[in-house]
Amino acid sequence: MKLLYDLNSLRPPRSGVGYYTQHLLEGLLKRNDIEELGGWVGSNYYNRRSVGSLLGEENSLQAGAQFSEGWKASMLRAARSLPGVYQGRTVVRRIKSASLRAECARRGFIYHETNFIASPYAGPNVVTIHDLSHRHFPEFHPQAAVDYLDRNLPDTLKQVHKVITVSEYTRRDAIDVYGLPEDKVVSIPLGVEPCFRPHRANDCESVLAELGLKQRGFILSVCTLQPRKNLTRLVAAFAKLPADLREAFPLVLIGAEGWMNSGLMRDIERLSQAKQIILPGYVARESLLKLYSSAAVFAYPSLFEGFGLPVAEAMASGVAVLTSNVTSLPEVTAGAALEVDPYSIDDIATGLERLLIDKALRDTLIIKGLARAAELTWDAMVRRTYAVYSSIAA
Q: At 388, which CATH number?
A: 3.40.50.2000
Are residues 270 and 173 part of one domain?
no
Which pLDDT belongs to residue 266? 76
Residue 229 within any structural domain of the chain: yes
| In the predicted structure, residue 13 carries a pLDDT above the cut 90 | no
Tell me how far apart the alpha carbons of residues 167 and 235 are, in angstroms, rounded to a whole number. Answer: 28
Identify the pLDDT of residue 81. 54
The number of domains in the chain is 2
The answer to whether residue 335 scores a pLDDT higher than 60 is: yes
- pLDDT of 69 > 80? The answer is no
Structural domain including 6 reads 2-191+378-392
Confidence of residue 66 (pLDDT cuts 50, 70, 90): very low
What's the pLDDT score for residue 84?
A: 62
Residues with Cβ < 8 Å from 88, sequence gap 6 or more?
A: none
Q: Is residue 183 part of a domain?
A: yes
The answer as to whether 273 is a domain residue is yes
Asked if the structure places residue 120 within a domain, the reply is yes
Would you state the pLDDT for residue 140? 86
Q: Which of 236-240, 261-265, 275-279, 314-318 has the lowest mean pLDDT?
A: 261-265
- Per DSSP bridges, beta strands 36-41 and 44-46 are antiparallel
For the residues 207-220, what does the mean pLDDT come to? 97
pLDDT level of residue 161 (50, 70, 90 thresholds) = very high
pLDDT given at position 20: 97
* Co-location of 136 and 152 in the same domain: yes
Q: Are residues 252 and 282 in the same domain?
A: yes
Q: Are residues 142 and 244 in the same domain?
A: no
Residue 77 lies in a domain: yes
E strand or H helix at 20, and its extent?
helix 16-29
Residues 284 and 316 in one domain: yes
What mean pLDDT comes out for the span 187-199?
97
Residue 196 lies inside a defined structural domain of this protein: no
Specify the pLDDT at position 62. Answer: 62
Say whether both 183 and 218 belong to one domain. Answer: no
Of all residues in the chain, the percent with pLDDT exceeding 90 is: 77
Query: Using CA atoms, how far apart are residues 237 and 162, in angstroms rounded to an integer?
Result: 42
Same domain (yes/no): 113, 178: yes
Same domain, 52 and 187: yes
The Cα–Cα gap between 306 and 166 comes to: 7
> Which of 11-15, 105-109, 123-127, 210-214 shows the lowest mean pLDDT across its residues?
11-15
Q: Would you call 26 exposed, middle or buried from its count of C-beta atoms within 10 A (0-12, 13-18, 19+)?
A: middle
Burial status of residue 225 (CB atoms within 10 A of its CB: 0-12, 13-18, 19 or more): buried
Burial annotation 351-371 (CB, 10 A radius, 16+ → b, else e): bbbebbeeeeebeebbebbbe
- Cβ proximity of 102 and 108 under 8 Å: no
Alpha carbons 226 and 259: distance in angstroms, whole number? 5
Judge if 368 and 288 occupy the same domain: yes
Q: Are 200 and 268 in contact (CB under 8 A)?
A: no
In this structure, is residue 95 part of a structural domain?
A: yes
Confirm whether 236 is domain-assigned.
yes
| Distance, CA of 73 to CA of 63 (rounded, Å) | 15
* pTM, to two decimals: 0.89
* Pairwise CA distance, residues 326 & 333, whole Å: 11
Within this chain, do residues 246 and 102 fall inside the same structural domain, yes or no?
no
Distance, CA of 54 to CA of 73 (rounded, Å): 27
Residue 383 neighbours by CB under 8 Å, 6+ apart: 27
Tell me the average pLDDT across 318-322: 98
DSSP-assigned beta bridge partners for residue 219 = 251, 297
Exposed/middle/buried for 179, CB within 10 Å: 0-12, 13-18, 19+?
A: exposed
Kindly state the helix (H) or strand (E) to which residue 277 belongs, with its residue range: strand 277-278
Q: Does the pLDDT value for residue 74 go beyond 70? A: no
Is there a single domain that holds both residue 87 and residue 229?
Answer: no
Q: 48 and 128: one domain?
A: yes
Query: What is the C-alpha to C-alpha distance for residues 233 and 184, in angstroms, rounded to an integer?
Result: 38
Mean pLDDT, the chain, as a whole number?
90
Residue 382 has pLDDT above 90, yes or no: yes
Q: Is the confidence at residue 255, as pLDDT, over 90?
A: no
pLDDT band at 257 (very low <50, low <70, confident <90, very high): low
